[in-house]
Structure 1
Amino acid sequence: MITTDSGERVEAVAPVVISASRATDIPAFYAEWFFRRLERGYCVWVNPFSKRKVYVSFLRCKVIVFWTKNPAPIMPYLHILDRKRIHYYFQFTINDYEQEGLEPRVPSLGCRVDTARRLAAMIGAGRVVWRFDPMLLTPSLTPHDLLARVWRLGNMMRGCTEKLVFSFVDVGAYRRVASNLRASCSLFAQAGVTSAEPSAGQRLELAVGLARMCDRWASDGWKIDLATCAEEDDLGAYGISHNCCIDGTLIERLFGNDPELVYYLHSGKLPLPDAGGHMSVMPLARRSLKDRGQRKACGCMVSKDIGMYSTCGHLCAYCYANGSRMTVERNMAAHNPGGESLCG
């Protein structure tokens, strides 16, 4: 039970891992709100389908995974998490679609790389996961051109990360992707939005090209792992794994000095002291904590996402989480940094 801002006592979920957020860019646009809610001890997540309110307590939170295209606004607040002994790492998407105008409100590429350098210097490269996500094509942007951009960007990102995660745009899976591409990008007016999707042969060309890049960087002293996000293609022969964005193995490697967290990762529950004050014995085997609420190809462990759809001001043309521009702007205008939920 928690006590709300209005003094009401309500039931709340209390996740150990919080995702902030697959649905919107909390670090870029809602950093003040997030830390106000952290100090208050809870926030409200609204189910996008049923509109039911879910109260989310921070009481048991041990890890926060941030998803962002611009972490700069949240970086001045991170010491608060350190003080509270809440662990965190970043899924930091840095694409290069500046020529196409597909990400109209993200900072310049140079600015984003500079932010990546500052963030890695602050928290360590292992806690900054670089995403080139999604990979898409246009009538003038070929797989060769796209790989050349990743190569250039990767050379700028050297030492800022230890992992590169990628996926391929899937227009058919999300109705919003098709509508946003049509509304935002004249490049697809003639060719059609499905032309953004790489074919099977083009996906393989891109994957092999990325693998060769990582081999080259490794030979030059920069070891960087390569993984796909929620892709069913088996690319293991090229050294490409299936990623877990909310990753229990990574969490244990980064924060393994926290015995309560490690116990949770192995057992699925936080330890409780016995009558003598001793903690539970660590399970020998790791329990599967796969999040069954995600797509089949998603390898993420269970977490609670606290974001809201149609609230991301980047307005990326391929976005699956935003509705119309008008809806996004209306929701962002309704945002109250002191409110329980992102909007309202």
Structure 2
Amino acid sequence: MIAQPDTMPTLAPLIISASRATDIPAFHGTWFMARLRAGFCRWRNPFNPRQQRRISFERTRLFVFWSKNPAPFQPHFAEISAAGRQFYVQYTLNDYEKEGLEPHLPALHRRLDDFRRLAEHIGPQRVIWRVDPLIVGGGLTPECLLDRLDRLGRVLSPWTEKLVFSFVDMYRKTTVGLHRLNPAYRAPTEAEMRHLAAGIAHLNNGWPHRLALATCAEALDLRDMGIHKNACIDADLIRRLCPQDALIQQELSPCRQASLLPGMVPAPAPRRDSGQRQACGCFPSKDIGAYGTCPHGCVYCYANPSPSVVRQAMQRCRHHPETREFLD
């Protein structure tokens, strides 16, 4: 039995992530805007369906949107701004067209145009370019990936400030999906990771606009290449976007760790989201959305149980585009 919103425990997060679980801007924009106007949404724990929460937007200052195709959502940004909320977009743009790893995305040339238009509309500081994940094998050599990245970077670098990349994690669903298409697909070795990272750093120096480079949830230390560990929920960027918001400035300021040696000034220690992977540097936020509701059909995706589950979910969404909850 599904609990009603007024009987559920309520969370009122400062920052909402929309969403690591599904592509809300591409497929669920109508739902999101209806929930924003209503002031809340519901959330169910994907690993414990009995755990449900009412997510209140009353205190929310900023939304982080994650998408591979945010173009359908672009008209809504003006209303979000008018409601006094800030935002930025984590825009994943890979080039796996030849391999068919992202079968239901728009054509690459269209996504490149959409990236530029989005940056023109909301500002390059609000559009983070993500290359995620980097996969090797089956013809995808590090040199092939770097060549494709170079072509992308020459087009995209004037329209963003940062490139974030990560290497594929071979979760069970990811492994099954990739190996069904080509058994040779695999994660890069550490040597290949370092080669790719060094290549990206070298390419970055030749692009029209030099980008900040960072990895997402990677244990590998690449600081000697000028590549930092990213915080996708980025306290520094959020403070930049909310300069007059006293609560944001206070809550997102780095905490100071207690010093073990007398007379030493403790270094600032940013808060991190304990609900994410150990190598994740994200500031705490609340993720909304649900697994099994993204029809992009990316072969490496770990968030969709099966194509039939996604089809059923999207059929329900079409019948109730504004009032549905991700609890059906």
State TM-score, norm by structure 1.
0.87
Find the counterpart in structure 1 of residue 218 from structure 2.
231
- Cα offset for 1:342? 2.6
- Cα offset for 1:181? 1.9
Find the counterpart in structure 2 of residue 47 from structure 1.
45
From 148, 172, 176, the counterpart of 1:175: 172
Asked if structure 2 preserves the Cα contact closer than 8 Å seen for 1:65 and 1:91, the reply is yes
Question: Is the aligned partner of 1:242 residue 2:241?
Answer: no
Change (3 A) 1:37 1:237: same
Change (3 A) 1:169 1:10: closer
- Cα offset for 1:163? 0.3
Q: Distance in 2 between matches of 1:289 and 1:66?
A: 20
Q: CA offsets, 1:120-151, max 9 Å, x none?
A: 11111011000010000132121101100000
The structure 1 segments of at least 4 consecutive aligned residues displaced by more than 6 Å after TM superposition are: none
Find the counterpart in structure 2 of residue 329 from structure 1.
311
Matched to 2:290, the amino acid is M
Q: CA offsets, 1:258-310, max 9 Å, x none?
A: 22321221389xxxxxxxxxxxxxxxx96632101111100001000001011
Q: Distance in 2 between matches of 1:7 and 1:15?
A: 16
Find the counterpart in structure 2 of residue 15 from structure 1.
13
- RMSD in angstroms over aligned alpha carbons? 2.1
Q: Distance in 2 between matches of 1:225 and 1:8?
A: 44
For residue 152 of structure 1, give the secondary structure of its aligned residue in structure 2: helix
Q: CA offsets, 1:159-210, max 9 Å, x none?
A: 1111000000011xx2111122234x2x22xx3xxx4211111111100000
Change (3 A) 1:97 1:200: same
Q: Distance in 1 between matches of 2:325 and 2:211?
A: 37
Unaligned runs of 5+ in 1: 269-284
- Cα offset for 1:332? 1.7
Find the counterpart in structure 1 of residue 133 from structure 2.
134
Question: Is the aligned partner of 1:299 residue 2:296?
Answer: no
Higher deviation after alignment, 319-328 or 229-238: 319-328
Find the counterpart in structure 1 of residue 259 from structure 2.
none
Higher deviation after alignment, 255-264 or 101-110: 255-264
Find the counterpart in structure 1 of residue 61 from structure 2.
62
Q: Distance in 2 between matches of 1:324 and 1:149?
A: 30
Share of identical aligned residues, percent? 45
Q: Distance in 2 between matches of 1:140 and 1:22?
A: 29
Asked if structure 1 preserves the Cα contact closer than 8 Å seen for 2:134 and 2:166, the reply is yes
Q: Distance in 2 between matches of 1:62 and 1:260?
A: 9
- Cα offset for 1:325? 1.1
Matched to 2:23, the amino acid is D
Change (3 A) 1:50 1:147: same
Q: Distance in 2 between matches of 1:266 and 1:253?
A: 12
Q: CA offsets, 1:51-76, max 9 Å, x none?
A: 02211000000010000000011111
- Cα offset for 1:340? 4.8
Q: How does 1:255-294 map to 2 (within 5 A)?
A: 255-266=242-253, 288-294=270-276
Find the counterpart in structure 2 of residue 37 from structure 1.
35
Matched to 1:242, the amino acid is K
- Cα offset for 1:37? 0.4
Matched to 2:145, the amino acid is L
Asked if structure 2 preserves the Cα contact closer than 8 Å seen for 1:313 and 1:329, the reply is yes
Asked if structure 1 preserves the Cα contact closer than 8 Å seen for 2:41 and 2:55, the reply is yes
Higher deviation after alignment, 138-147 or 332-341: 332-341
Asked if structure 2 preserves the Cα contact closer than 8 Å seen for 1:332 and 1:343, the reply is no
Change (3 A) 1:10 1:140: closer
Change (3 A) 1:6 1:324: closer
Matched to 1:56, the amino acid is I
Q: Distance in 1 between matches of 2:178 and 2:112?
A: 26
For residue 291 of structure 1, give the secondary structure of its aligned residue in structure 2: coil
Asked if structure 2 preserves the Cα contact closer than 8 Å seen for 1:252 and 1:265, the reply is yes
Change (3 A) 1:199 1:64: same
Change (3 A) 1:287 1:337: farther
Asked if structure 2 preserves the Cα contact closer than 8 Å seen for 1:180 and 1:324, the reply is no
